[in-house]
């Protein structure tokens, strides 16, 4: 079995194990796609269509780096926004609010002191201010008013707390600084210059019944049954707060394909290496560097960095940056190797209670990293892994899940050992057991 066959086998096994109904894994090395694997089906229904490379997924929190952070960088680059300006100076409605003193930099690095999440959609609904029941400007003002009333859970800069609320504010700041709605600015400043037409926000159904995702040529993976909206969500944002804001928000709302995600990540990677890019190299370096305070924190400016145990596995370099999405998506970029890995799934279908992807992500990233770096070492040699990568090499996924409940370090040892076993063709049980017994006990 060749390298791609190993990735395919791992993805197929994840579908059989119920990690997700289906998914797409794309890996790119030095600008060239070397891995493009699809597995499973759009949904758990018996008549579901198989996943295609062009399948569109709800990207969830990948919206943060791909749309909001990229937009913020471009506005800073254009001199329309400053990283260290107070939020209250950009959004005057928050001037005297607790969050008003935090800077754009504080929001990007998740150290603003705002709570991680609040059910804003319930409050907007109760006030008759949710999307479709009020004018768009009223919805935005209501959201800012509700966040402005929030007490900070810590002093600005004192601790790192991942916050959807902070990125909702950032999305509004992008709109105020650009003079356009977030989806309009993203299209004009990011998607169109990059030539991408399969990366977009989709407005909430009440406001836009003819969503572009209803086009017959667009394949869309559903997420879950939503009790609030009383329907299976397909082509409308999974996140309730984003839905209440019309499907366009700084923290969620973006939809796209694996190839379209790579278009934006490629712009970041090119900027990092001072190659041709829409993004200023100096700003890219600043945005992707882990912040020095507060400690401990893995956050750069809107991007996460690998900190063990990491969803990126065990091989991405310390200079790497990436992000996860709640629906089962992720993007990791290693500038040292000029390497990018995108995983898109709808693991929340049919229910968000399925969190098996936590164990799967590090494994698949270790395997993808190995395949991509071997391609870099042997670009034209036709080098492949001649092993029988059957279920005996995929069993460690289940094995590691059990062990990791006993010993927290078990997962990284298991995935590293299994990857090594796959590469050299040795038997995984002995490799895993030897590594685990020696290092974990």
| pLDDT in the model for residue 293 | 84
Quick one: pLDDT band at residue 43, thresholds 50, 70, 90? Answer: very high
| pLDDT in the model for residue 130 | 86
Which has the minimum average pLDDT: 160-169, 211-220, 370-379?
A: 211-220
Q: Cα–Cα distances in Å, from 29 out to 8, 52, 56?
A: 18, 21, 23
Q: What is the pLDDT of residues 47-68, one digit of tens each?
A: 999 999 999 999 999 999 999 9
| pLDDT in the model for residue 167 | 99
> Architecture of domain 64-256 in CATH?
3-Layer(aba) Sandwich (3.40)
Nearest to 182 by CA among 202, 166, 164, 208: 202
Q: How many helices and strands in the chain, by DSSP H and E?
A: 18, 10
Q: What is the mean pLDDT of residues 344-366?
A: 97
Q: What is the mean pLDDT of residues 243-250?
A: 97
Q: Cβ(308)–Cβ(314) under 8 Å?
A: yes
Nearest to 4 by CA among 329, 339, 333, 385: 385
| pLDDT in the model for residue 61 | 98
Length of the chain: 441
Quick one: pLDDT band at residue 435, thresholds 50, 70, 90? Answer: very low
Q: Is the pLDDT at 197 greater than 50, yes or no?
A: yes
Please report, rounded to a whole number, the percentage of residues in the chain having pLDDT higher than 70.
82
* Residue 51 per-residue DSSP state: P
Quick one: pLDDT band at residue 405, thresholds 50, 70, 90? Answer: very low
CA 167 to chain centroid: 14
Q: Cα–Cα distances in Å, from 58 out to 139, 258, 267, 272, 331?
A: 22, 11, 21, 27, 14
Q: What's the whole-number average pLDDT of the chain?
A: 87
| pLDDT in the model for residue 396 | 53
Q: What is the mean pLDDT of residues 349-364?
A: 96
Q: What is the pLDDT of residues 92-109, one digit of tens each?
A: 999 999 999 999 999 999
Q: Cβ(287)–Cβ(301) under 8 Å?
A: yes
Q: Is the pLDDT at 206 greater than 70, yes or no?
A: no
Tokens of 33: 């796609």
Tell how strand 254-256 and strand 231-232 pair up.
Answer: unpaired
Q: Is the pLDDT at 155 greater than 80, yes or no?
A: yes
Q: Is the pLDDT at 404 greater than 70, yes or no?
A: no
Q: What is the mean pLDDT of residues 297-305?
A: 97
Tokens of 31: 């600008």
Cα 409 from Cα 411, distance rounded (Å): 6
Spans of all domains in the chain: 3-55+304-440, 64-256
| pLDDT in the model for residue 413 | 43
Q: What is the mean pLDDT of residues 394-422?
A: 47
* Whole-prediction pTM: 0.87
* Residue 311 per-residue DSSP state: T
| pLDDT in the model for residue 222 | 98
Cα 103 from Cα 85, distance rounded (Å): 5
240 in helix, strand or coil? Answer: helix
| pLDDT in the model for residue 418 | 52
Quick one: pLDDT band at residue 133, thresholds 50, 70, 90? Answer: confident
Quick one: pLDDT band at residue 390, thresholds 50, 70, 90? Answer: very low
């Amino acid at each position: 079995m060749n390298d791609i066959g190993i990735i395919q086998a791992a993805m197929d096994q994840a579908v059989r194990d119920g990690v997700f109904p289906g998914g797409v894994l794309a890996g790119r090395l030095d600008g060239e796609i070397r891995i493009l694997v699809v597995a499973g089906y759009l949904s758990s229904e018996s008549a579901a269509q198989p996943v295609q490379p062009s399948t569109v997924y709800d990207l969830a929190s990948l919206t943060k780096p791909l749309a909001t952070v990229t937009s913020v960088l471009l506005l800073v680059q254009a001199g329309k926004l400053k990283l260290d300006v107070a939020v209250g100076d950009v959004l005057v409605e928050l001037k005297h609010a607790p969050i008003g003193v935090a800077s754009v930099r504080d929001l990007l690095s998740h150290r603003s002191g705002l709570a991680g999440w609040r059910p804003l959609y319930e409050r907007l609904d109760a006030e008759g201010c949710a999307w479709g029941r009020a004018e768009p400007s009223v919805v935005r003002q209501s959201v800012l008013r509700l966040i402005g009333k929030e007490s900070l859970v810590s002093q600005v800069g004192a601790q790192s707390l991942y916050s959807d609320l902070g990125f909702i504010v950032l999305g509004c700041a992008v709109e105020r600084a650009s003079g356009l709605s977030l989806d309009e600015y993203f299209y004009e400043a990011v998607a169109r210059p990059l030539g991408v037409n399969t990366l977009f926000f989709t407005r909430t159904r009440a406001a836009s019944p003819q969503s572009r995702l209803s086009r017959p040529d667009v394949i869309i993976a559903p997420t879950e049954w939503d009790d609030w909206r009383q329907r299976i969500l397909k082509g409308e944002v999974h996140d309730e707060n984003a839905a209440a804001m019309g499907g366009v928000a700084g923290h969620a709302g973006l939809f796209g394909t694996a190839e379209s995600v790579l278009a934006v990540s490629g712009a970041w990677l090119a900027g990092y290496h001072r190659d041709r890019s829409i993004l200023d190299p100096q700003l890219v370096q600043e945005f992707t560097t882990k912040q020095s305070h507060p400690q401990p924190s893995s956050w750069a400016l809107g991007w996460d960095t690998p900190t063990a145990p990491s969803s990126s596995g065990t091989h991405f370099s310390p200079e790497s940056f990436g992000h996860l999405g709640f629906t089962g998506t992720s993007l990791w970029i290693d500038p040292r190797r000029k390497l990018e890995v995108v995983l898109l799934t709808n693991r929340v279908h049919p229910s968000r209670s399925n969190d098996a992807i936590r164990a799967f992500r590090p494994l698949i990233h270790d395997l993808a990293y190995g395949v991509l770096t071997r391609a870099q070492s042997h670009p034209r040699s036709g080098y492949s892994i001649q092993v029988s990568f059957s279920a005996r090499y995929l069993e460690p996924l289940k094995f590691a899940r059990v062990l990791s409940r006993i010993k927290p370090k078990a997962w990284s040892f298991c995935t590293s050992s299994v990857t090594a076993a796959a590469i050299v063709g040795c038997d995984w049980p002995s490799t895993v057991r030897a590594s685990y017994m020696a290092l974990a006990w």
